[in-house]
Amino acid sequence: MIRVRKIAHAAYEMPDLEKQLEYYTDILGLTLVDRSKEAAYLASTVDHHSIVLSKGAESKCLRLGFQIAPDDDLDAFERQVQGHGVKTERKKDPEPTIADMVTFVDPKGTVMEVFRRGEFAGQRFPTKGIVPHKLGHVAFHCAEVKKVTNFYCDVLGFRVSDWMGEFFSFLRCGPDHHTINLMETGTNRHFHTAFEVRDWAHLQTACDHLSLNGYKLLWGPGRHGIGHNLFAYHRAPNGLITELFAELDRMNEELGYFEPRPWHRDRPQKPKVWAKDPSASNLWGILPTEEMMK
Ligand SMILES: [Fe+2]
């Protein structure tokens, strides 16, 4: 099968576009690279854009972009998706630097945009704001976690890294422990968008920068059990939650276990079903506030 290899971008809609744009540039430290009447494109790496913002009635994550490998066949990928009874659309030049794209909708209503990366845009990392390494993962509340998990695995080629009980799945499409995570809570909506920072020191600087600019943490800093990443969560101006993380587990696909780390309890740490235990959420002990689930 043809597997997607990387999350490329996430697209959001919100009533106050300008405020969210200011947050992404001045606070997070992404670069505004393109602006049309419909959308603002923000870059964080060599790719042209990682985040797309447009105006809408309510704040939500509309679309996720994924790359296939440079020598993968997009026509064959489209047939693979259709083979699962999923309706696809083909779009030529839909977004800057993307020439050809297959789109379809996942079972919880998020649009998937799959493409081959053409030219790199060669973005420099900016010098103001937090400046994360990259967009790392997007997490969703969902009504039917098994159905959506199977869709990402069967149609897009994701692999399951871990489950918490039967209600929370963590899925990878590359070496990172998770690029998509899905928590069954009865509704289909965005949970959080996560950006990778360098390390613990960068996370501290980021939390101070957030605080100086009036952003309070919702949860963290802590270290998750599942994925073992350092984390800190806050709410963006559009009301959606942003996570900053570092030291996320990395899978060695050939060996079938995550790169060993001193904080692992399993040796080696392999994909598994975790009990619904506080340490699966935070090895350091402090559990999420109710505010995290709003
Ligand atoms: Fe996360």
Residue 263 CA to ligand 1 centre (angstroms): 18
Residue 231 CA to ligand 1 centre (angstroms): 8
Residue 249 CA to ligand 1 centre (angstroms): 12
Q: Quick check: 293 pLDDT over 90? A: no
At residue 119 the predicted structure's pLDDT band, cuts being 50, 70 and 90, is confident
* Tens-digit pLDDT profile for residues 55-76: 999 999 999 999 999 999 999 9
Q: What is the CA radius of gyration of the chain?
A: 18
Residue 179 CA to ligand 1 centre (angstroms): 9
The whole-number pLDDT of residue 226 equals 98
At residue 120 the predicted structure's pLDDT band, cuts being 50, 70 and 90, is confident
Which residues are placed with Cβ below 5 angstroms of ligand 1, an ion?
A: 194, 243
Residue 57 CA to ligand 1 centre (angstroms): 26
At residue 98 the predicted structure's pLDDT band, cuts being 50, 70 and 90, is very high
When the pLDDT of each residue in the chain is averaged and rounded to a whole number, the result is 97
Q: Quick check: 233 pLDDT over 90? A: yes
The whole-number pLDDT of residue 122 equals 86
Residue 227 CA to ligand 1 centre (angstroms): 9
Q: Can you tell me the distance from the alpha carbon of 118 to that of 67, in angstroms, rounded to the nearest whole number?
A: 10
Residue 128 CA to ligand 1 centre (angstroms): 24
At residue 275 the predicted structure's pLDDT band, cuts being 50, 70 and 90, is very high
At residue 118 the predicted structure's pLDDT band, cuts being 50, 70 and 90, is confident
Give the mean pLDDT of 90-114: 96
HSE-CB of 7 using CA atoms within 13 angstroms? 29
Residue 191 CA to ligand 1 centre (angstroms): 9
Q: Can you tell me the distance from the alpha carbon of 24 to that of 43, in angstroms, rounded to the nearest whole number?
A: 10
Residue 99 CA to ligand 1 centre (angstroms): 31
Query: What pTM was computed for the model?
Result: 0.97
Is the omega angle on the peptide bond into residue 271 within 30 degrees of 0, that is, cis? no
Residue 194 CA to ligand 1 centre (angstroms): 6
Residue 104 CA to ligand 1 centre (angstroms): 24
Residue 139 CA to ligand 1 centre (angstroms): 6
* Tens-digit pLDDT profile for residues 143-164: 999 999 999 999 999 999 999 9
The whole-number pLDDT of residue 164 equals 97
Residue 174 CA to ligand 1 centre (angstroms): 16
Residue 230 CA to ligand 1 centre (angstroms): 10
* Tens-digit pLDDT profile for residues 78-92: 999 999 999 999 999
Residue 232 CA to ligand 1 centre (angstroms): 9
Q: Quick check: 216 pLDDT over 90? A: yes
The token pair at 82 is 């259709």
